[in-house]
Amino acid sequence: MRAKVKEVSVDMWGGFKKVIREVFPNALIVIDRFHVMKLVNSSLNQLRLKLELKGLKNRCLLLKNYVDLTPEERRDLKLLLKASPCLSIAYELKEELRDIYESSTTVLMGMRRLKKWLNSALIVFGKTAQTLKHHLPDICHYFINRTTSGVMEGLNNRIKLILRQSYGFKNFEMMRQKLLACLFI
């Protein structure tokens, strides 16, 4: 059964690859796009803090996708980015990466666009860009089937919520029954 698993979507933690290769020898490793964007957003936020542009509103504006901003938020973002050309470049790179994920239709197209993006991003994002470059082949596997770990992440969050709301279990079987009842009914 394990040999039939075709793809596994994970974050960039190094231990996953070794385990996946042992447990699912035929599976393609896909670095989840959410984790790639999370890493870039974290670097963007670090740059914001380094430039001493503090404030939750600034953070939210930078981390939100441009297409999801209201007209007022777009105006505020424009003012923020005008105050810092370096932050403006980093934000544009973040949005370009998001667009690569949204609009690349083939692995080759995704690979080309990501390589070009990485060359631009090295100056602004440094270590983050190096990390992404290291994982590039597995990041590009996303473009084959657009596989993500979103469903599993959601399931894990539901399990954590159920366990937290249950205030502990006396035994494993009770926990198992509660999880099965809540998750699959």
> What is the pLDDT, as a whole number, of residue 30?
95
Complete DSSP assignment for 109-144: HHHHHHHHHHHHHHHHHTHHHHHHHHTHHHHHTHHH
Q: Is the pLDDT of residue 56 over 60?
A: no
Model confidence at 179, pLDDT cuts 50, 70, 90, reads confident
The whole-model pTM stands at 0.83
Q: Is the pLDDT of residue 76 over 80?
A: yes
Cα angle 5-134-39, degrees, rounded to a multiple of 5:
85
Cα distance between the two ends of the chain: 26
> What is the pLDDT, as a whole number, of residue 55?
61
> What is the pLDDT, as a whole number, of residue 184?
72
> What is the pLDDT, as a whole number, of residue 110?
95
Percent of the residues in the chain that have a pLDDT greater than 90, as a whole number: 57
Q: Is the pLDDT of residue 45 over 60?
A: yes
**Smallest Cα–Cα separation from 103: which of 89, 90, 117?**
117
> What is the pLDDT, as a whole number, of residue 73?
94
Q: Which of 3-12, 25-34, 114-123 has the lowest mean pLDDT?
A: 3-12
Mean pLDDT of 149-169: 79
> What is the pLDDT, as a whole number, of residue 15?
84
Structure tokens at 182: 């809540």
